[in-house]
Amino acid sequence: MQLHATIADVTARIRTRSAQSRRAYLDRVRAAAEEGPRRAHLSCSNEAHAYAAMGSDKDRLAQHRAPNLGIVTAYNDMLSAHRPFESFPEIMRDAARRAGGTAQVAGGVPAMCDGVTQGQPGMELSLFSRDVIAMSAGVALSHNTFDAAAYLGVCDKIVPGLVIAAASFGHIPAIFVPAGPMTSGLPNDEKATLRQKFAAGEIDRDALMRAEMASYHGPGTCTFYGTANSNQMLMEFMGLHLPGASFVNPGTALRDALTEAATERALAITALGNDYTPAASVLDERAFVNGIVGLMATGGSTNLVLHLPAMARAAGIELRPEDFADISSVTPQMAKVYPNGLADVNHFHAAGGLQYLIGDLLAEGLLHEDVTTVAGPGLARYAREPSLVDGRITWGNGAVRSHNDRILRPARDPFQTTGGLRELTGNLGAGIMKVSAVAEDLHVIEAPARVFEDQDGVKAAFRAGEFKGDCVVVVRFQGPRANGMPELHGLTPILSVLLERGYRVALVTDGRMSGASGKVPAALHVSPEAALGGPLARLRDGDILRVDASAGRLDVMNEDALERAPASPDLDANAHGMGRELFALFRQNAGPATLGASAIQPPETTG
């Protein structure tokens, strides 16, 4: 199938726009690669330090003939999604030895749980943890003793941070090793209903706690289609996982076999062999376009609209909001996974999952097939799924039809004909909306503004019974420069209650929602942010706002509103406590949301 004209055009303009920065990036990667395997350049003293604790692997390491895999792990046992990683290094060391190589844990990176920090001061560190993760992985790999890197991470900021690091060390191969989703617990829609009942005062905290514990109940990724599972989708569409690795449950024989196979493959694609596949070759503009297509086709997390530009910039590639919008305009939404539907990721996987999606999108010309992946050349191999035969991984044909059309549909008969994310622009700035779970009659909201400067103010107004009609709730001074751009997911139950009461309600914010933003129409990541004098800083209660996902508009209708002086609240409370004082440098240097809100990459465009 010939590549769709819009996908080809978007890819071409990204390539043209990024030509200078991409060329400079590849020149740096090429220079690093030409120096050869890294351990050969270390002194004997350097090497002795690196191998001192490696026991029987010491001789093999010192001889430089066998590849050495550096493991960068985000393991902790506070994140359910990362709990399985505790056992992965030993599995990988054993697999490396059987393959004639070695593996070492190069270092750990921090991994915070947004589910724990939602609505708490710690959430103000969340977005910038992505940059810290990238830098921490850089520290791990700076020892310069590794021929390839394996990245163990799943959740919200962890995978994007690790991809930034992989791009920065683009001369060595990079393979991402997932842990898989937890088994299905309390259905997500039942949990959401109980959250709304608690917000409305209809059930007590004990009942809510029982529901939450029944939903988040064991090791593995949370089963809704939020940022963590969107990350896993992305790694397959971009060719950084082994095919079919994303949604295999932890603690199964197939999961362990995939981890072993990832180790073997990482060792096979180093510069010491005949199949050298550096990360820079995988992370090109076609891979990022494929990732955006996957995001749109699955109705994935709005957080990836922040992360993908930051990831791409690390590889010398510039993505812009219009790239997302144009790809969305031709990409059908083929999946309905909670909060876009009732199914969880285990049901989605059983229905045919990513292998069906990739195969069907390739058949429709909506993906680049001619890409480099860690599994080999061509994305078509990602339409194949793994199974265990006599204890060994084999890949066979994936599903060629959906096994449940309430969860997964073909591109020619989708849930909707365009992607799950929309770009909004207007006199209030630029933002995005996840529309895949929003009822069509809520795609356009025009109503008076209620303006708040934090989410606690919204909650207090709700408890006081102040919401008595249609409104657009504005929560401003939530951008990266103001307070680190925390997720405002705690507002979802309140705004959902207002919708249930029959009010037409939308949210407008320069902050974030999680991948579980759900059925509330929400204009997110509005830029320029209020803390930099953006238009949101000029709004007052009663201004008439129009949030129009159909036309892609975000406007205040009484234009005299924008002639006011911007509000300038005291943001000192955001600067201290729960580690926030340690992140002042990040807040002061963060780029705009449209470029990924990163503090470690220059905020200006790359030309």
Buried b (16+ CB within 10 A) or exposed e, 291-307: bbbbbbbbbbbbbbbbb
* E strands present in 398-493: 421-426, 429-434, 444-452, 471-475
**471 labelled as ligand-binding?**
no
Amino acid identity of residue 117, one-letter, is T
Q: Which residues pair with 546 in a beta bridge?
A: 446, 555
Amino acid identity of residue 454, one-letter, is D
Measured CA to CA, the distance from residue 81 to residue 77 in angstroms comes to 9
Spatial neighbors of 463 by CB under 8 A, at least 6 apart, are none
Q: Which residues pair with 200 in a beta bridge?
A: none
Amino acid identity of residue 508, one-letter, is V
Contact 121, 174 (CB under 8 A): no
What DSSP character marks residue 139?
H
Amino acid identity of residue 145, one-letter, is T
**Helix H or strand E segment including 509:** strand 505-509
Work out the angle at residue 59's Cα, subtended by the Cα atoms of residues 53 and 65, and round it to the nearest 5 degrees.
Answer: 120
φ/ψ bin of 522: left (φ > 0), alpha (ψ from -120 to 50), beta (otherwise): beta
3-class DSSP string for 28-73? HHHHHHHCCCHHHHCCHHHHHHHHCCCHHHHHHHHHCCCCEEEEEE
Q: Which residues pair with 337 in a beta bridge?
A: 343
- 239 alpha carbon, distance to own chain's centre: 15
Helix (H, G, I), strand (E, B) or coil at 157: coil
Nearest to 162 by CA among 141, 183, 191: 141
Q: Angle between the 492-500 and 188-199 helix axes, to the nearest 10 degrees?
A: 80
Q: Dig out the tokens for 168 from the structure.
A: 């920065």
Contact 493, 517 (CB under 8 A): no
Contact 191, 215 (CB under 8 A): yes
Nearest to 534 by CA among 568, 488, 559: 568
Nearest to 496 by CA among 474, 522, 515: 522
> Residue positions in the annotated binding site?
155, 222
Feature table: binding site for [4Fe-4S] cluster: 155, 222
